[in-house]
Protein backbone atom coordinates (compact mmCIF):
# COMPACT_ATOMS: atom_id res chain seq x y z
CA UNK A 1 0.00 0.00 0.00
CA UNK A 2 0.92 3.65 -0.06
CA UNK A 3 3.37 4.77 2.60
CA UNK A 4 5.40 7.91 3.29
CA UNK A 5 8.29 7.85 5.76
CA UNK A 6 10.30 10.59 7.39
CA UNK A 7 12.79 10.87 10.23
CA UNK A 8 11.18 12.23 13.37
CA UNK A 9 13.60 14.94 14.45
CA UNK A 10 16.15 17.36 13.04
CA UNK A 11 18.17 19.94 14.93
CA UNK A 12 20.17 22.63 13.14
CA UNK A 13 22.04 25.75 14.10
CA UNK A 14 20.48 29.08 13.21
CA UNK A 15 21.82 30.27 9.86
CA UNK A 16 22.73 26.78 8.65
CA UNK A 17 20.82 24.85 6.00
CA UNK A 18 18.23 22.26 7.01
CA UNK A 19 17.61 19.19 4.90
CA UNK A 20 14.52 17.12 5.61
CA UNK A 21 14.24 13.79 3.83
CA UNK A 22 11.28 11.65 2.86
CA UNK A 23 10.73 8.35 1.08
CA UNK A 24 7.51 7.14 -0.46
CA UNK A 25 6.32 3.90 -2.00
CA UNK A 26 3.70 4.85 -4.59
CA UNK A 27 5.48 4.84 -7.95
CA UNK A 28 2.43 6.44 -9.59
CA UNK A 29 2.61 9.58 -7.44
CA UNK A 30 1.77 12.68 -9.44
CA UNK A 31 2.40 15.43 -6.92
CA UNK A 32 4.62 15.53 -3.86
CA UNK A 33 4.17 18.15 -1.20
CA UNK A 34 5.82 19.71 1.79
CA UNK A 35 3.53 21.06 4.51
CA UNK A 36 4.50 23.02 7.62
CA UNK A 37 2.62 22.78 10.93
CA UNK A 38 3.30 25.24 13.72
CA UNK A 39 2.11 24.53 17.29
CA UNK A 40 -1.65 24.72 17.64
CA UNK A 41 -2.18 25.42 13.97
CA UNK A 42 -3.32 23.54 10.93
CA UNK A 43 -1.05 22.53 8.09
CA UNK A 44 0.21 25.08 5.61
CA UNK A 45 1.36 24.12 2.13
CA UNK A 46 4.97 25.24 1.67
CA UNK A 47 5.71 23.93 -1.77
CA UNK A 48 4.99 21.08 -4.12
CA UNK A 49 6.67 19.37 -7.06
CA UNK A 50 5.19 17.56 -9.99
CA UNK A 51 6.53 14.06 -10.50
CA UNK A 52 8.15 14.84 -13.86
CA UNK A 53 10.38 17.46 -12.26
CA UNK A 54 13.56 16.77 -10.33
CA UNK A 55 14.07 20.13 -8.66
CA UNK A 56 12.11 23.18 -7.67
CA UNK A 57 13.41 26.30 -5.97
CA UNK A 58 11.32 28.91 -4.21
CA UNK A 59 13.27 31.56 -2.31
CA UNK A 60 14.92 29.76 0.64
CA UNK A 61 13.29 26.44 -0.21
CA UNK A 62 14.71 23.84 -2.57
CA UNK A 63 12.89 20.60 -3.30
CA UNK A 64 14.76 17.68 -4.83
CA UNK A 65 12.97 14.64 -6.22
CA UNK A 66 14.67 11.36 -7.07
CA UNK A 67 11.84 9.44 -8.67
CA UNK A 68 13.95 6.32 -9.25
CA UNK A 69 14.67 5.99 -5.53
CA UNK A 70 11.29 7.51 -4.50
CA UNK A 71 13.14 10.05 -2.38
CA UNK A 72 12.08 13.63 -1.75
CA UNK A 73 13.99 16.27 0.20
CA UNK A 74 13.35 19.80 1.37
CA UNK A 75 16.28 22.14 1.90
CA UNK A 76 15.77 25.33 3.87
CA UNK A 77 18.61 27.77 3.41
CA UNK A 78 19.66 30.15 6.20
CA UNK A 79 17.37 28.49 8.76
CA UNK A 80 15.71 30.93 11.13
CA UNK A 81 13.95 30.48 14.48
CA UNK A 82 10.65 31.02 12.69
CA UNK A 83 11.29 27.83 10.75
CA UNK A 84 10.79 25.77 13.92
CA UNK A 85 7.82 23.53 13.16
CA UNK A 86 6.84 20.06 12.07
CA UNK A 87 7.32 19.43 8.36
CA UNK A 88 5.16 16.86 6.61
CA UNK A 89 5.97 15.18 3.35
CA UNK A 90 2.91 14.07 1.38
CA UNK A 91 2.16 12.43 -1.91
CA UNK A 92 -0.82 12.23 -4.20
CA UNK A 93 -1.32 9.25 -6.43
CA UNK A 94 -2.73 9.31 -9.88
CA UNK A 95 -5.73 7.15 -9.18
CA UNK A 96 -7.39 9.36 -6.59
CA UNK A 97 -7.10 12.79 -5.11
CA UNK A 98 -6.37 11.45 -1.64
CA UNK A 99 -3.13 12.78 -0.14
CA UNK A 100 -0.99 10.46 2.00
CA UNK A 101 1.02 12.20 4.71
CA UNK A 102 4.20 11.12 6.44
CA UNK A 103 4.48 11.28 10.23
CA UNK A 104 6.31 14.59 10.15
CA UNK A 105 9.82 15.79 11.00
CA UNK A 106 10.14 18.15 13.95
CA UNK A 107 12.71 20.82 13.11
CA UNK A 108 14.31 22.60 16.04
CA UNK A 109 16.71 25.50 15.75
CA UNK A 110 19.56 26.03 18.19
CA UNK A 111 21.34 29.35 18.61
CA UNK B 1 -9.83 35.97 2.47
CA UNK B 2 -11.12 34.21 5.59
CA UNK B 3 -9.61 30.81 6.28
CA UNK B 4 -11.18 27.52 7.25
CA UNK B 5 -13.02 27.88 10.54
CA UNK B 6 -13.47 25.07 13.05
CA UNK B 7 -15.15 24.82 16.40
CA UNK B 8 -14.73 24.03 19.15
CA UNK B 9 -10.94 24.30 19.42
CA UNK B 10 -10.79 21.92 22.36
CA UNK B 11 -13.12 19.27 23.71
CA UNK B 12 -12.78 16.88 26.62
CA UNK B 13 -15.31 14.07 27.02
CA UNK B 14 -15.58 10.72 28.71
CA UNK B 15 -15.58 7.50 26.75
CA UNK B 16 -18.97 6.43 25.42
CA UNK B 17 -20.12 10.06 25.21
CA UNK B 18 -20.94 11.75 21.91
CA UNK B 19 -19.23 14.73 20.36
CA UNK B 20 -19.64 16.86 17.25
CA UNK B 21 -17.26 19.12 15.41
CA UNK B 22 -18.11 21.89 13.00
CA UNK B 23 -16.26 23.21 9.97
CA UNK B 24 -16.86 26.19 7.71
CA UNK B 25 -14.68 25.99 4.59
CA UNK B 26 -13.33 28.85 2.53
CA UNK B 27 -16.07 30.44 0.47
CA UNK B 28 -16.31 28.91 -2.98
CA UNK B 29 -14.36 25.76 -2.14
CA UNK B 30 -16.32 22.79 -3.39
CA UNK B 31 -14.22 20.12 -1.73
CA UNK B 32 -14.08 19.56 2.01
CA UNK B 33 -11.97 17.07 3.95
CA UNK B 34 -11.94 15.76 7.49
CA UNK B 35 -8.65 14.39 8.80
CA UNK B 36 -7.73 12.69 12.05
CA UNK B 37 -4.26 13.50 13.37
CA UNK B 38 -3.14 11.34 16.26
CA UNK B 39 -0.25 12.72 18.32
CA UNK B 40 3.06 12.05 16.59
CA UNK B 41 1.48 11.06 13.29
CA UNK B 42 0.52 12.72 10.07
CA UNK B 43 -3.09 13.51 9.21
CA UNK B 44 -5.20 10.60 8.01
CA UNK B 45 -8.14 11.28 5.71
CA UNK B 46 -11.48 10.29 7.22
CA UNK B 47 -13.87 11.62 4.61
CA UNK B 48 -13.89 13.83 1.53
CA UNK B 49 -16.91 15.70 0.19
CA UNK B 50 -17.38 17.40 -3.13
CA UNK B 51 -20.24 19.82 -2.66
CA UNK B 52 -22.65 17.75 -0.57
CA UNK B 53 -21.68 14.35 -1.97
CA UNK B 54 -19.17 11.90 -0.48
CA UNK B 55 -16.11 11.22 -2.66
CA UNK B 56 -14.13 9.01 -0.28
CA UNK B 57 -15.07 7.67 3.14
CA UNK B 58 -13.09 4.45 2.99
CA UNK B 59 -11.19 5.19 6.23
CA UNK B 60 -14.15 6.47 8.23
CA UNK B 61 -15.10 4.09 11.08
CA UNK B 62 -18.76 4.11 10.14
CA UNK B 63 -19.91 2.24 13.24
CA UNK B 64 -19.17 5.32 15.34
CA UNK B 65 -18.24 8.21 13.04
CA UNK B 66 -20.60 10.11 10.79
CA UNK B 67 -20.27 13.28 8.75
CA UNK B 68 -22.53 15.42 6.70
CA UNK B 69 -22.28 18.46 4.53
CA UNK B 70 -25.75 19.78 4.03
CA UNK B 71 -26.12 22.41 1.30
CA UNK B 72 -22.53 21.83 0.25
CA UNK B 73 -21.00 24.40 2.60
CA UNK B 74 -20.59 23.76 6.35
CA UNK B 75 -19.88 20.28 7.61
CA UNK B 76 -20.20 18.44 10.89
CA UNK B 77 -18.30 15.37 12.04
CA UNK B 78 -19.82 13.30 14.83
CA UNK B 79 -18.44 10.53 17.01
CA UNK B 80 -20.95 8.37 18.88
CA UNK B 81 -19.89 6.73 21.15
CA UNK B 82 -16.32 7.94 21.63
CA UNK B 83 -13.47 5.60 22.54
CA UNK B 84 -10.15 6.38 24.18
CA UNK B 85 -8.32 5.88 20.88
CA UNK B 86 -10.36 8.69 19.28
CA UNK B 87 -8.22 11.21 21.18
CA UNK B 88 -6.66 13.24 18.39
CA UNK B 89 -6.78 16.54 16.55
CA UNK B 90 -9.53 16.63 13.94
CA UNK B 91 -8.57 18.83 11.03
CA UNK B 92 -10.90 20.20 8.42
CA UNK B 93 -9.52 21.32 5.06
CA UNK B 94 -11.03 22.67 1.87
CA UNK B 95 -9.88 23.07 -1.69
CA UNK B 96 -11.17 24.72 -4.82
CA UNK B 97 -10.94 21.62 -6.96
CA UNK B 98 -10.50 17.91 -6.50
CA UNK B 99 -7.93 17.01 -9.10
CA UNK B 100 -4.69 18.35 -10.41
CA UNK B 101 -2.44 20.34 -8.19
CA UNK B 102 -5.00 21.47 -5.71
CA UNK B 103 -3.98 23.19 -2.52
CA UNK B 104 -5.78 22.13 0.60
CA UNK B 105 -6.29 24.90 3.13
CA UNK B 106 -6.42 23.61 6.69
CA UNK B 107 -8.30 24.90 9.67
CA UNK B 108 -6.67 25.07 13.14
CA UNK B 109 -8.24 21.79 14.21
CA UNK B 110 -10.26 20.56 17.17
CA UNK B 111 -8.25 18.79 19.83
CA UNK B 112 -10.35 15.98 21.32
CA UNK B 113 -9.40 14.27 24.56
CA UNK B 114 -11.38 11.17 25.53
CA UNK B 115 -10.99 10.17 29.19
DSSP structure string for B12-55: EE-TT--EEEEEE--TT--EEEEEEE-TTS--EEEEEEETTEEE
CB of A55 within 8 Å of a chain B CB? The answer is: no
Q: Which of A91, A87, A90, A65 is nearest to A76 (CA)?
A: A87
Which residues touch A2 (CB under 8 Å, ≥6 apart)?
A24, A25, A26, A91, A93, A100
Give residue A97's pLDDT: 64
Residue of B nearest to A31 (CA): B101
CB of A51 within 8 Å of a chain B CB? The answer is: no
Q: Which of B105, B111, B25, B5 is nearest to B72 (CA)?
A: B25
Mean pLDDT per 10-residue section of chain B, whose length is 115 residues: 91 97 94 94 93 91 95 94 97 80 86 97
At B113, which helix (H) or strand (E)?
strand B110-114
Which residues touch A35 (CB under 8 Å, ≥6 apart)?
A43, A44, A45, A46, A87, A88, A90, A101
C-alpha triplet A77, A46, B56: angle, nearest 5°:
150
Compute φ and ψ for A9, nearest 5 degrees.
Answer: -135, 150
Give residue A96's pLDDT: 60
Give residue B93's pLDDT: 94
Give residue B2's pLDDT: 81
Encode burial over A69-83: b for 16+ CB neighbours within 10 A, e otherwise.
Answer: ebebbbbbeebeeeb
Give residue A28's pLDDT: 82
Disruptive mutation site among A42, A44, A63, A94 for chain B (greatest number of B CBs within 10 Å): A42
Chain A segment 87-106 residues within 8 A of B by beta carbon are 88, 90, 96-99, 101-104
Task: Using 50 as the pLDDT threshold, list the residues of chain A that sit under it.
Answer: none
Do B33 and B55 touch, CB atoms closer than 8 A?
Answer: no
B67, HSE (Cβ side, Cα atoms, 13 Å): 32
Do A76 and A17 touch, CB atoms closer than 8 A?
Answer: yes
Amino acid sequence: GEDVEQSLFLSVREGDSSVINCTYTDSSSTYLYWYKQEPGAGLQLLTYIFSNMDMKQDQRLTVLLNKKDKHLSLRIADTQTGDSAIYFCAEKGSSASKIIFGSGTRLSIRP
Amino acid sequence: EAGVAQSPRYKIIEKRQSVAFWCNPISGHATLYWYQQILGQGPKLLIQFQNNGVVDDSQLPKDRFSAERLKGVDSTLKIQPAKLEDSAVYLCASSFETSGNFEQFFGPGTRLTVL
